[in-house]
């Protein structure tokens, strides 16, 4: 029995999907971290880069977005048979205004990825005003079904328009499709009208991404319970809930995520170490360029021999790695360093196991295979920030590296800087430093400090700082403050 727990009564909106007592998906949306994917903007082309066949577009969100030639509506609609070989300057120019839609959020130093081929998702149809093609859900049960809907699409769309028939549309009457298509056409006309009145780049249309994410999960729940802590949101989704699914309003004193024990799960998803059965564990290190998952046997020794232990641990790790990738919303390049396996047959077993688990993932994932060093390579499409990126920020002390200079290193730096004042006319120096730096610098019974004072010819006085990291600063130099 499935449970969908929705926490929508505050500014931060969240939901968790629980299957067979285990959390399968957690989605968190903060106002400041809200995904821009699907939003439509009026953009102005800032720079066209022929060598990259791309343009940078100011769309009013700070960093300019990246727009490739084959994502331009002018390119898509062109009838030129040789258009692939034409430069991007044939389809767009600097200073041009155009409607763009965010395909991928900005990440790190990279700006958002944009498309000029606008998509308006409906309940049954994805409408592309300038998409120029027809597609049918891959889940269509037969070639006849696909052919039927493609033929219908040809009849109802214009030459420029594009349509994608979603899985939900395959059993609907044509009249429902036509009505929805007309609604989407009207919506796009309003978007164009709004954009025409804008003088600066900016937002024209914003998707309710949280609502859409909830709907996508609701469509997968055939039997279970949906629990919501916001009456308005409950009313918004009630006609999307299937007949065999119970919809409940939660108004308990304890917050809904705490009551259903989701909060501890979120805390675990921010930790590096993930424990597996029998003492084995994984370490997950998420970086800007890639994510590394390292599998270790830990205390697990197996019942027979080392080879048996390695294979069992790796099979368990494959299941949990796929789950962690989904829950943490990891994306981009992902490397999994399984424990070294001696035979290709064992590697194939682990590979098939993780392939099976990743089929449950709604995001496009590509498994490349094992390297010569036995590291599994895969990529996962990124459309939004990962959970860690949403809930955390870089440490102001270490800059996100997880490391700071040691107290000893900082003490030696202070010592070297003080040597630069040797033979000066100064009589005394006032230095602010963290407690550990003072201790390392001065030594037991101030032995090092006294030695330096004698060698350098001036006194040193310390003011202990409560800085969060090893630190020093020379505050004042000059005549001695000691009274005769």
Residue from 432, 421, 483 nearest 458 by CA: 421
Neighbouring-strand partners of residue 369:
377
Q: What backbone phi and psi angles, to 5 degrees, belong to 380?
A: -135, 130
Q: How wide is the angle at C-alpha 387 spanned by C-alphas 384 and 393, nearest 5°?
A: 100
Query: Which pLDDT score, from 0 to 100, does residue 195 have?
Result: 95
> What are the strands, taking DSSP E only, across 206-317?
224-228, 245-249, 273-275, 281-286, 290-296
pLDDT reported for residue 16: 96
Local mean pLDDT, 10-residue blocks, the chain (484 residues): 93 93 91 84 95 94 93 94 93 96 86 95 91 87 86 93 88 90 95 94 91 87 93 93 91 94 93 89 90 85 68 92 94 94 91 90 88 92 83 82 90 94 90 96 95 94 92 87 54
Report the distance separating Cα 174 and Cα 183, nearest Å: 14
pLDDT at res. 410: 95
Q: Which helix (H) or strand (E) is 460 found in, with range?
A: strand 459-465
pLDDT in tens, 227-279: 999 999 999 999 888 888 999 999 999 999 999 999 999 999 999 999 998 78
| Whole-number Cα distances in Å, 452 to 200, 355, 474 | 64, 64, 16
Q: Do the Cβ atoms of 437 and 470 come closer than 8 Å?
A: yes
Residue 470 pLDDT: 94
Give me the pLDDT at residue 96, please.
95
- Catalogue all structural domains in the chain, each as residue range(s) with its CATH number: 2-33+208-264 (3.30.420), 40-205 (2.40.50.140), 270-389 (no CATH), 407-478 (3.30.2320)
Output the furthest CA–CA distance in the chain (Å, rounded). 104
């Amino acid at each position: 029995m499935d449970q969908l727990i929705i926490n929508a009564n505050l500014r931060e909106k969240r939901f968790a999907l629980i299957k067979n007592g285990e959390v399968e998906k957690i989605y968190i949306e903060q106002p400041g971290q809200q995904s821009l994917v699907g939003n439509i903007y009026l953009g102005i082309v800032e720079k066209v880069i022929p060598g990259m066949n791309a343009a940078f577009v100011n769309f009013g969100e700070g960093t300019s977005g990246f727009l490739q030639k084959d994502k331009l509506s002018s390119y898509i609609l062109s009838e030129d048979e040789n258009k692939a070989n034409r430069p991007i300057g044939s389809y767009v120019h600097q200073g041009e205004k155009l409607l763009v839609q965010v395909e991928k959020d900005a990440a790190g130093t990279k700006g958002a990825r944009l498309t000029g081929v606008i998509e308006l998702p409906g309940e049954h149809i994805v409408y592309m005003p300038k998409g120029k093609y027809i597609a049918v859900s891959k889940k269509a049960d037969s070639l006849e079904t696909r052919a039927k809907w493609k033929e219908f699409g040809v009849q109802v769309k214009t030459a420029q328009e594009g349509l994608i028939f979603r899985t939900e549309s395959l059993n609907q009457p044509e009249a429902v499709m036509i009505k929805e298509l007309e609604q989407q056409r009207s919506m796009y006309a309003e978007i164009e009208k709004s954009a025409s009145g804008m003088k600066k780049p900016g937002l024209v249309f914003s998707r309710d991404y949280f609502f859409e994410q909830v709907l996508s999960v609701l469509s997968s729940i055939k039997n279970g319970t949906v629990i919501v802590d916001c009456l308005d949101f409950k009313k918004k989704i009630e006609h999307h809930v299937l007949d065999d699914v119970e919809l409940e309003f939660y108004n308990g004193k304890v917050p809904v995520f705490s009551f259903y024990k989701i909060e501890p799960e979120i805390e675990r998803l921010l930790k590096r170490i993930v424990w597996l059965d029998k003492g084995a564990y994984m370490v997950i290190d998420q970086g800007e360029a890639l994510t590394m998952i390292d599998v270790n046997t830990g205390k697990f020794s197996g019942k027979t021999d080392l080879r048996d232990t390695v294979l069992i641990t790796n099979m368990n790790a494959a299941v949990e790695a796929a789950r962690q990738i989904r829950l943490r919303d990891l994306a981009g390049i992902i490397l999994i360093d399984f424990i070294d396996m001696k035979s290709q047959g064992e590697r194939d077993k682990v590979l098939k196991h993780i392939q099976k688990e990743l089929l449950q993932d709604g995001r496009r994932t590509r498994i490349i295979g094992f390297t010569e060093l036995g590291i599994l390579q895969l990529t996962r499409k990124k459309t939004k920030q990962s959970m860690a990126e949403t809930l955390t920020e870089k440490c102001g002390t270490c800059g996100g590296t997880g490391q700071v200079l040691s107290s000893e290193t900082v003490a030696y730096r202070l010592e070297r800087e003080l040597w630069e004042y040797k033979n000066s006319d100064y009589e005394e120096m006032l230095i602010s430093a963290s407690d550990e730096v003072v201790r390392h610098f001065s030594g037991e019974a101030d032995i090092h400090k006294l030695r330096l004072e004698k060698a350098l010819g001036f006194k040193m006085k310390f003011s202990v700082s409560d800085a969060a990291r090893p630190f020093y600063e020379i505050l004042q130099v000059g005549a001695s403050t000691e009274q005769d």
